[in-house]
A and B are shown apart, each in its own frame.
Chain A
Amino acid sequence: DAGITQSPRHKVTETGTPVTLRCHQTENHRYMYWYRQDPGHGLRLIHYSYGVKDTDKGEVSDGYSVSRSKTEDFLLTLESATSSQTSVYFCAISERERRSEAFFGQGTRLTVV
Chain B
Amino acid sequence: AQSVTQLGSHVSVSEGALVLLRCNYSSSVPPYLFWYVQYPNQGLQLLLKYTSAATLVKGINGFEAEFKKSETSFHLTKPSAHMSDAAEYFCAVLNTGFQKLVFGTGTRLLVSP
Contacts and interface: CB of A to CB of B under 8 A. Distances in A.
Interface of A: 4, 31, 33, 35, 40-45, 48, 50, 56, 58, 90, 92, 94, 96, 98-99, 101-107
Query: What's the dominant secondary structure at chain B's contact region?
Result: strand
B39 to A, nearest CB: 11
A106 B99 contact: no
A92 B43 CA distance: 9
A31 B44 contact: no
Residue from B9, B101, B106 whose CB has the most chain A CB atoms within 10 Å: B101
B90 interface: yes
B44 A42 contact: no
Contacts of B34: 101
Interface string B72-113: 000000000000000000100010001111111110000000
Give the size category of B's interface with A.
Answer: 20 to 34
B103 A43 contact: yes
A105 B43 contact: yes
Given A31-B99, A99-B51, A43 B90 contact: yes
Query: What's the dominant secondary structure at chain A's contact region?
Result: strand
B100 A33 contact: yes
B46 interface: yes
B42 interface: yes
B42 A106 contact: yes
B106 A42 contact: yes
A40 B9 contact: yes
B104 A102 contact: no
A55 B32 CA distance: 23
A102 B43 contact: no
27 contacts: A33-B100, A33-B101, A35-B103, A40-B9, A40-B105, A42-B103, A43-B90, A43-B101, A48-B98, A48-B100, A50-B98, A50-B99, A56-B98, A90-B44, A92-B101, A96-B99, A98-B99, A99-B32, A99-B49, A99-B94, A102-B101, A103-B46, A104-B44, A105-B43, A106-B42, A107-B41, A107-B43
